[in-house]
Structure 1
């Protein structure tokens, strides 16, 4: 994530800010411009850029509950922003815990959409595409009359992504991470992984890339349910780290793609953040990376990423914390990231962008 600038006073502002602490103006993120603007209220529910009254917006409906800081263009018929309009079921925001969860979920969701915007990936809503449009259900756990709890399930099916709302709570998520022996588990990671399945539908299955995909990830026609049962019954194959970025990626080619997609976003967005703050551990023999979102080489991204993660892991250990990036990128894994990066930076057909 890059560092933004208040377009009124020129001071640094950040993606989640809703107020410029320097000049006091309200801030809003304009997704169509990928920019943060200082805004003033005008007539009725309209706002405009502080220094350009002709550029008008409405605030996303979720700003009323402090969940969102995005803007909606004046001529857009939606009341929710480009990110929030994909939501179907949300936590109960009339409760303190529900509102707290929704704020954390919304922050991760907007971070995901920032990346999709940078790559120009279109995400039609269910209103635009009733069968396959992208939609989110943030599900509450089911508590029976006897007090027993059935956790909500996370998953994806034809553009419908379900996420367990309780995982917005750090304690709940950490307990699950420990129980499942995972080195990493975050709400943003969930978004990136599950949207990876949606991107597979959009840019692989529906965009004529199945043959090239199978050459890199394997044949997705293998029985998915059987593969999942095998994974939970016997665990991953012993040599999985040589071929897959995570143990779960070894389950099935679909999961391999989703995990590789999530890591591609981890890498590119974190490299952009490091670049914005002047952090770099690039090999002096290599050309500067430049904007990671414009890099079309997974190998070049890895060359910048691996030294940075080694340094960050060492810093975390110095603080007695777990590794910042507890994964290893082998040449085969880098090739998968390269496939995804080239796909995201390449042309998308009209069918996939409809």
Structure 2
């Protein structure tokens, strides 16, 4: 994430700020400008082209600070949420802002990297939307199917999430991580399925036509192969080629975003937009940075920030994912995609 400053007083801002804590100017996030901008007393911002933008109607519901094109309307990020908790679900509503914040963070990164974010309203068949569901009354399975990403809002609760993480033996589990992982399923569907990149992906990740349910059953009954650290980024990636791709995609986003954030805050001289091969960025910039950040965490008695190893086969997979940034989406199959996590 880039660093932001108040246009009125120059004070440093967080991405989520709706008010400058220094000069108390009301703020909104302009997706077009990728900037936090001041709004007037009526929540309005006039851009350089004379267009009026307005504070999203969901500011007090989900903490959304993005600007909407219509007064009293909602922003482009909120437009992507198809289902949210109902107004009578107090617990679900209390968990909802955490998921929306992670979704907005994901969208900014996808925008910056140039990956297309098209909603279901524009493309009902292949567009993207999010079902952010409360599991208070029923179980929710996190997953992706035909452009619909489903998130269990219970994952916003730290105690619940850590408990699941320990049960599954995972090294990392966050709300943002879920959004990144599931977006990987979506973009594999859009950018790889039905294109000339499919055979290349199959050579790296494996045969995606393998029975998904059978592979799930095998994974949870037998566990990962003994040599998994030599070929995969996580044990979950060993479950199925689709999951390997999604895990790799998530780590591509982890790395690019963290390197950019480090550069914006003076911790690195190279950001993820530098014109170097992605493998070089990983080996020469990310690995030393991650090692240093791990040591900082340990100095505070915390777990490692990035508890992962990146062997050569994983670097090859990361290179493939990074190459999709400049690629073109194919026609792809619109068949049901029931991959889930």
Partner in structure 2 of residue 47 of structure 1: 44
Give the 5 Å matches for 1:261-272.
261-272=249-260
Give the 5 Å matches for 1:51-66.
54-66=50-62
Deviates more, 1:10-19 or 1:244-253: 10-19
Give the alignment partner of residue 273 of structure 2, picking from 281, 285, 293. Answer: 293
SS at match of 1:79: coil
Count of aligned pairs between the two proteins: 331
1:127 and 1:223 mapped to 2: Cα distance? Answer: 32
- Answering whether residue 48 of structure 2 is matched by residue 67 of structure 1, we say no
Partner in structure 1 of residue 335 of structure 2: none
1:25 and 1:8 mapped to 2: Cα distance? Answer: 8
2:250 and 2:304 mapped to 1: Cα distance? Answer: 18
2:66 touches 2:75 (CA, 8 Å); kept in 1? yes
SS at match of 1:270: helix
Give the alignment partner of residue 308 of structure 1, picking from 271, 274, 289. Answer: 289
SS at match of 1:163: strand
Give unpaired runs (5+ residues) of structure 1: 144-149, 281-287
2:206 touches 2:241 (CA, 8 Å); kept in 1? yes
- For residue 6 of structure 1, report the CA deviation from its aligned partner: 2.1
Partner in structure 2 of residue 147 of structure 1: none
- Pairwise CA RMSD: 2.3
SS at match of 1:83: helix
1:11 and 1:98 mapped to 2: Cα distance? Answer: 34
Q: TM-score normalized by structure 2?
A: 0.90
SS at match of 2:36: strand
2:57 and 2:194 mapped to 1: Cα distance? Answer: 33
Give the alignment partner of residue 241 of structure 1, picking from 229, 238, 245. Answer: 229
2:44 touches 2:53 (CA, 8 Å); kept in 1? yes
Give the 5 Å matches for 1:161-172.
161-172=149-160
2:181 touches 2:247 (CA, 8 Å); kept in 1? yes
1:255 and 1:134 mapped to 2: Cα distance? Answer: 19
SS at match of 2:273: helix
Give unpaired runs (5+ residues) of structure 2: 333-341
- For residue 259 of structure 1, report the CA deviation from its aligned partner: 0.1
- For residue 151 of structure 1, report the CA deviation from its aligned partner: 3.0
Q: Which has the higher contact order (CA 8 A, sep 6+)?
A: 2
